[in-house]
A and B are shown apart, each in its own frame.
Chain A
Amino acid sequence: MPSSRRKQFDPITHELVPKHEVLPLEEAVKVLRELGIHPQKLPWIKASDPIVQQLKAKPGDIIKIERISPFGTKVVTYRFVVVG
């Protein structure tokens, strides 16, 4: 029996982790057109990030994050998945 088995923990269920989802291609294109930017200009997130791994997102995907701002409004931001 290995002395330390990695505790399996699903970060998505944690209350401090906001909702993440992979944008489907058509929607990603739409969002980028709306913002008028190239995907690389978005903030990056590494493919090795635990949440990205959970979502099975691949480098090049765009992740949509929905969270509640301190003012109580819903805020949507995006991350560009990169190798790493």
Chain B
Amino acid sequence: MPLDTSTYSLAHLRVDGRRWNELRRVHGQISTQAAADGSSYFEMGNTKIICTIAGPQEQRRGGNSGQSHDAKVEVEIGIAGFSGVDRKRRGRNDKRIQEMQHAIASAFTHTLFTHLYPHSTITIHLHVLSQDGALLAACINAATLALIDAGIPMSDYTAACTTGSTASYASNDEAADPLLDLNSMEEQELPFLTLGTSGGDDQVSLLIMETRVQATRLEAMVSVGLDGCRQIRSLLDGIVRAHGKKVLEARVT
């Protein structure tokens, strides 16, 4: 058992030595790929993602061309074979990945000002280099940074993180603690959810949970998640401001 619940209750320290409300190290870079319209590199602990943006550009030949007055957001996720613990090839038709693509696309369709770019597409390419939990959350954060780099107007940052609960679904344990930002070992055995916020306080734009959990647990998990998203948002903001400062300083000299 990776997260031995008995030791957790003794010292309140998780397998990697964090406390319940601590995020892993977050590191982000903007404009990493020169060829792309916008790009970013984002790390949440050992989850590492490169995101590149293509667009807004002319719509590819499709069925509904000429109909839309909004830009279409497309997402493509490529998970590298070496990213996980065991080398597994995931096809393009994996439904789990397609679901993630849909979730990211519809989350950004709402925050981006797509009405400014009629008849065009914005393609978000996400390359997962290393996975260690919070895959969807890291993808969303990376895409936010890259879209800012691409200069596409948006109403707010979309920040995401995961939260879990120490109680497994079977036990109706009252002393269960919510946990912030699980790593992959914790994700495998604890119920967790991915939460994405955008547009002011406590506005949930994305919430995905795949594991069984008591409904009474949800409130604590969501409130810890909202707090985590607030932290992620300020970290993203810091990354963007630091990058902007660097660009301006380079221009002055």
Do A and B assemble together? no
